[in-house]
Each structure stands twice: as structure tokens, then as C-alpha cells.
Amino acid sequence: MAVSVRTIRTAVPATVIRQQQVRDLFAAQPGLGRLGERLVATSFDASGIDTRHTVVSDFEEGGHGAFIDAERTLLTPGTAARNGLYTVEAAELAVRAAREALDDGSGFGAADVTHVITVSCTGFFSPGPDYVLVRRLGLDPGVQRFHVGFMGCYAAFPALKMAKAFCEADPSAVVLVVSVELCTLHVRSSSDPDQIVASSVFADGAAAALVTAREPADAAAGPRAVLDLDSFSTTLTPVGEDAMAWTIGDHGFEMVLSSYVPKIIDEHITGALQPLLAGTSSTAVERWAVHPGGRSILDRVQTKLGLSDEQLAPSRDVLRRYGNMSSATILFVLERILADAAAPVAGGERVCAMAFGPGLTVETGLFTARPGSAARLAAGDEAGHEAGLAVGEAA
């Protein structure tokens, strides 16, 4: 019984920040100093990012409010104020992504959902996003709800593993997985290199996936390609516990993102993949979904694993257009891979996905992109048409 992601849909806030514009904003902050200015320029320019999205409208050119004053000085609102904005905006973004996933013709709708799993590490409220999704989307009030909280950039993997387990236990289950992260709520001006790196890459976004072992009732419905969830693996690297961390401070959540993280990943990614790829050569994997925590991370993984530019293109494109949206980011990458595999070969294509987070934790997954029911039906119709032509020619 194959448990599959039937669809992935994404959503981002309306406010777009351009990397050069926000670089100049951070570099001009009072008290930064020449070294800080150089670190800002280096981090922002080398990020591989063109644009990001944010729920903080103050970042718009000329905008000001609780986060940025009229003189374009970054302010330090308290954690309560930041989390208050999270409560409103995270709910809106999660609902948008989930509604698109339910309405995109996957063959499953709101009435089919049996489980909801939400993922976030950038804010808290209760009843939380899982409750909001049930109420706003008109889901069955008896739907089972779960939340994966404060795990960081790799947290979509535990959520997908939970969804797979639910579907294996109940073949009729349809699980809605929604990740929503508002990282820009916690940016601040700082001369600390780790904080500067964090400010240069993090962004806001949401992604929703429908996971099930069921086929749609209508054989003609559904996507051209689905993503079978084959296996998962988790590894803690022997070093790096302090290199990536996420704590709650008086003025928002505080990120530690050391410049040593790419080096740690470079040294340990091969070993982290061994349990997942046991008996499978990495060269047999056609597609790769690498969490774009930053350009240096992608560079290190590509070189270490010998991946082609084409294989890293989905990850680099997401980084360039959206930045690092913590746990939602890998779902953005997988969404692109599913779109690229709209007509996968009959036997399917292997997809290896990975993400990195506090610990330093490496989560990996091995998937198969294969034709969905609609694609198989179309292929059958085409085969029947070709067979009819052959019979006619023989006659």
C-alpha cells in the first residue's frame, strides 16, 4: 500500500522585500559600526536570494509602524507584540495554503480530511492553527488534530512521517499537513554575525500537502503526478549542537545560525544519508529536494554528493525567490519537483529530500514521483487509441 502526497500548494504574504533594499536598510542601522556594515553586505550579497516575503508591512519602502519607525530605524517590539501579529497572520496564511490544496483538483476535498497536522516554530497560540483550519475550511469537527511545534527547519519531515503512519494504520485516512512560518517577525538589528546571517536569509511562507493511501473516487480526477512516501531517516551529527539553535527572548525569538553549519553538513551529509540509501546508490536518485538553508549549504551538498545543476535547480530557485521559510521551505521545493514531474516515467523517479535544523539534526526522506490516476488513465486511453489504429491498419 503506497502512501502518497497527492498535492502540495503554497502561499506567501503580499509584502515583497528585495534583498538589495533590505541589505541597505540593515547596513544603515545606528550603532552597527564598520565591521557590522561589512558583515551585512557580505551576508546579504552572498545569500543567493533576490526576493523574500514578509507579513511585516513596515518593510515596504516608506513603511513604518511597530517594527520600523519613520526614520527607517529598526525597532525592538516585545515578544508579545510579535506573537500577536503571528496569531493573526499565521492563521490567514495557513488557511490560504490549505484551501488551495483542497481546491486544486486532487480528487480529495474538505469532506475527506480525517487528520490535520500543523507545523510551526515561529509563534504560539491556542486554540492554534489546527483549530483555525477545521473551523475556517469547514472540516468535520471530529477530525483528529496534531501540532509539530518548535522543531525548526526540518519539522515538515516528522509531520510527513506522522501522516504516513496514520494512513498505514487506517487506509481510508486523508491527512492535511500544513506548515506555516513567519520568521521575519523575529528579525533585529545586530552586530552579531549569527544574527546578521539569520536576518539575511529568513522569510515567511506556508505550504499544505494532502497525504493519503486512497485513490480518488473519480478515476479521472487527481494530479498528473503523486509523491509516494517510501522511507525516512533521522540523524544527529556528532558536533554542531550549538551551531543552530532557536530560543525565546524578551524581544522575539533568537536564532543562532553559525557560519560553521555548511562545514558541519559537508562533513556529515554522506553518513547521514547512509541509513536512507542503504542498497541504493545516490546516482540512482533522479531528483533531489535539498532544504535551501542558505547558498553555502546548497553549494556544499551539491559538491559532496556530486549533484548536477539541474538536480539542485528547484532548491536554488526557491531560495532565490522566497528565501528560507524554515519548515515550509522543503515543501516549496517538493511542490516544484511535482510540477516538473508532471509526466513521470511509468516506473517513477526516485526523489531524495533532506532538511537540517537545531541539534544539528538531519532529516531525510526517499520518495517516488510516479504518474497519478489521471495520468495513468490518459496513458491507457492513448494506448487504446494506438492499439485501435494498429488493428485498423492490419485489417
DSSP string, 114-130: -EEEEEESS---SS-HH
> How far is Cα 22 from Cα 67, in angstroms, rounded to an integer?
14
| DSSP label at residue 75 | -
Integer-rounded Cα Rg, in Å, for the chain is 22
In sequence order, the β-bridge partners of residue 177 are 117, 209
- Cell numbers for 166, please give them: 496514520
Residue among 121, 153, 183, 352 flagged as catalytic = 153
Do 49 and 323 contact (CB within 8 A), yes or no? yes
Strand locations in the chain (E): 4-11, 15-18, 51-54, 115-120, 144-149, 174-182, 204-212, 225-236, 244-249, 252-257, 287-290, 349-357, 361-371
Active site residue 121: no
- Cell numbers for 28, please give them: 544603515
- Cell numbers for 202, please give them: 529568513
Residue 292: C-alpha distances to residues 20, 134, 233, 327, 354 (Å): 19, 31, 19, 11, 10
Do 202 and 326 contact (CB within 8 A), yes or no? yes
Catalytic positions: 153
